[in-house]
Structure 1
Amino acid sequence: MKEHMVNIPKTLESNADQDIPETRQALLTGERAEFFAHDRHYVDTIFDDGESPLKHAHNVMLESSSFKWKYPLWYCRNIDAKYCTWFEMARAGVWYTDHITVENSTIEAPKNFRRCHGVALRNVDFVNAEETLWACSDVTLDNVSAHGDYLAMNCADVKADNLRLVGNYPFDGARNVEISNSRLISKDCFWNCENVTVRDSFISGEYLAWNSRNVTFENCTIESLQGLCYVDNLVLRNCRLINTTLAFEYSSVDVDVHGTIDSVFNPASGVIRADAIGELTLDPERIDPSATTVITANVTER
């Protein structure tokens, strides 16, 4: 292990004006190899062959370093990781950790980030995002790509820009979510959610946003089979619905769509504006047709 002193960044919690130890080009092995580490900078360091190497760490910087075994960052706080790699066996990598920033890094392992607060991810690739970002709060995703099911279940206060997701069931049970400039290829996205706003994005997947409330799409292109159903207060502004059928069942809606909606099926109430609707179903045995106003290019129906 090679060690000398460096200056800790002002962003970390304590000892901001003091020199801190730097560990460089080390191979650290064994369970809890750096247990309770604090006020330390790791550079070009490999954590391998041992669980929980940085458990209970705080005020730690990681640069160009790698995790190769399970549970590397649990019960930590004030972690700054740049140009780092979580390899496939670094599973369940960051749990119960507060105030962590990860930049320009690759995370191959699944089940990362669980019950964390204050998570900032910038320029991060999740190779296997299965069951990642569960029950986290105060989350920022900036230029993040993810492949895997059940991303961000039960998260709160999430802001994402340029999120590129391929995976089903994301954001189930999430609340206070803002997404912009993103592409989501996902079935059952935004189920059981509250207070979701998506802007300038593309979403493709079946059964979009069921059983949610206060969901808004602005300037979005959406493809969905039987999507946007069972939503309380669904708003679409300046959107396009392509290859979208059986939309809005039992939803209260304020919809402004450019182009054609292939089919609308038993909305509960509200207003639907579109250039055209291929097939409109308002079944009086299921809903009150008079509660919904439908406005197309040449016809207004109640």
Structure 2
Amino acid sequence: MEKFNQQLFTGERALFKANQLEISHSVFADGESPLKESANLKLDYDIFRWKYPLWYSDHIIADKITFVDTARSGIWYTNDITITNSLIQAPKTFRRSSKITLVDVELPNAEETLWNCKEIRMENITVKGDYFGMNSEDIDIKNLTLSGNYAFDGARDVYVTDARIISKDAFWNCENVTIEDSTIVGEYFGWNSKSVTLINCTIESNQGFCYMKHLKMVDCILINTNLAFEYSTVDIKINSRVDSIKNPLLGLIEADEIKEMIFDDPEIQSENTVINLKKIKEVI
């Protein structure tokens, strides 16, 4: 395997169709698509300064690399890439790519990142930016910190554990999602999604969990959450008070207390939802 060390690469397609290379402590400066159509690369301590560095690439292992903010749209149409201990400052990274592994990676400007991708494994990830993870599938995440709205819109087959998520309209239009041991803060969580399970989570959400099919909660705590579960089918076990619940379609809700239970749609039959709790403060 040929090796490059402490090199400065400039110009468009600087290492076009590179194969079987080790590139260390080097800088990819001005020039688009420096590693387009590359394969079987090992990158470490490299810095990428311009657009489209890894498009149509295969079998990439990268450690301690840096994408600065101008290295936008960096990894598209790429298969089998592992990135560890790295900083990706650029937006729109990862599009229509597969077999992605990220470990100990920071993405502080992750707008429109990880779109239409599949077979994704992430661990110890910090993300800031809107529209993260849209329409991606087969996602496994451990220890995620995410701040940004509209996360995981349209995602499928998602497992998340040990996460801290601040995101309005997160997990809309999803299918087959499980979230465990996590904290979620955000309005309108989960609308129009199917087969979503939350286990041992603490959640704050204004008007969350509406228009959902097969929503399940196990040992969750809902704080400052109102107008929940409207037009949803539910199997809910909450270890806390709920401020208000509105127009659930069908299922079971268990809670310590419901401060307000609202049925104001004449087409909803309240008897289709079984309520088990210690106290109902007010029924409208």
TM-score normalised by structure 2 residue count: 0.98
Match of 1:16 in 2: none
For residues 177-201 of structure 1, the C-alpha deviation after alignment (integer angstroms, 9 at most, x for no partner) is 0000000000000000000000000
Deviation by residue 1:208-250 (Cα, 9 ceiling, x = unmatched): 0000000000000000000001000000000000000000000
Q: Aligned pair 1:241/2:222, yes or no?
A: yes
Distance (Å, rounded) in 2 between the aligned partners of 1:208 and 1:58:
40
- Who is 1:61 aligned against? 42
Structure 1 alignment gaps of length 5 or more? 1-19
Closer, same or farther: CA 54–284 of 1 in aligned 2, 3 Å: closer
- Identical residues among aligned pairs (%): 49
Correspondences of 1:250-261 after superposition (within 5 Å): 250-261=231-242
1:41 corresponds to 2:22: yes
Which stretches of structure 1, 4 residues or more, deviate above 6 A after TM superposition?
none
Mapping of 1:175-190 within 5 angstroms? 175-190=156-171
Deviation string for 1:16-59 (max 9, x for gaps)? xxxx1110000000000000000000000100110000000000
Partner residue of 1:135?
116
1:211–1:230 contact (8 Å) kept in structure 2: yes
Residue 13 (structure 1) aligns with: none
Q: Secondary structure of the residue that 2:271 maps to in structure 1?
A: helix
AA in 1 matched with 2:14: A
CA distance in 2, matches of 1:40, 1:259: 56
Residue segments in structure 2 that go unaligned for 5+ positions in a row: none
Once the two structures are TM-superposed, the CA of residue 288 in structure 1 deviates from its matched residue by 1.2
Provide the alpha-carbon RMSD of the alignment: 1.0
Residue 110 (structure 1) aligned to one of 83, 91, 116 = 91
The residue number in structure 1 matching 2:56 is 75
**2:159·2:177 contact (CA, 8 Å) conserved in 1?**
yes
Deviation at 1:90, TM superposition (A): 0.2
Aligned equivalent of 2:275: 294
SS of 1:296's partner is strand
Query: Within the alignment, does 1:214 sit opposite 2:195 as a pair?
Result: yes
Change (3 A) 1:69 1:298: closer
How many Å separate the matches in 2 of 1:126 and 1:261?
34
Task: Tell me, in whole angstroms, the C-alpha distance in 1 between the residues paired with 2:51 and 2:267.
Answer: 52
CA contact (8 A) 1:84 1:104 kept: yes
Query: Cα deviation per residue 1:266-298 (whole Å; 9 max; x = unaligned)?
Result: 000000000000100123504111110111125
Instruction: Say whether residues 1:267 and 2:248 are aligned partners.
Output: yes
Note if contact 2:258-2:279 (Cα within 8 Å) is conserved in structure 1: no
Contact 2:162/2:181 (8 A) holds in 1: yes
**What secondary structure does 1:290 align onto?**
helix
Q: Which residue of 1 aligns with 2:186?
A: 205
For residues 277 and 190 of structure 1, the distance between their equivalents in structure 2, rounded to whole angstroms, comes to 25
1:194 lines up with 2:175 in the alignment: yes
| 1:101 counterpart residue number | 82
Residues 1:152 and 2:133 aligned together: yes
Deviations along 1:240-261, whole A, 9 cap, x unmatched?
0000000000000000001100
| 1:168 paired to 2:149 | yes
8 Å Cα contact 1:266/1:286 also seen in 2: no
CA deviation map 1:149-196 (0-9, x unaligned): 000000000011111000000000000000000000000000000000
> TM-score w.r.t. structure 1 length?
0.92
Paired position in structure 1 for 2:3 = 22
1:226 alignment partner in structure 2: 207
| Matched-pair contact (CA < 8 Å) for 2:102–2:125 | yes
C-alpha deviation, 1:89, in angstroms:
0.5
C-alpha change, 1:284 and 1:73, in structure 2 (3 Å) is: closer
Question: What amino acid is aligned across from residue 83 of structure 2 in structure 1?
Answer: V
Could you tell me whether the CA contact under 8 Å between 2:237 and 2:254 is conserved in 1?
A: yes
CA distance in 2, matches of 1:208, 1:127: 23
Residues 52-76 of structure 1 show CA distances to partners (whole Å, capped at 9, x for unaligned) of 0000000001000010000000000
In 1, Cα distance between equivalents of 2:229 and 2:279: 21
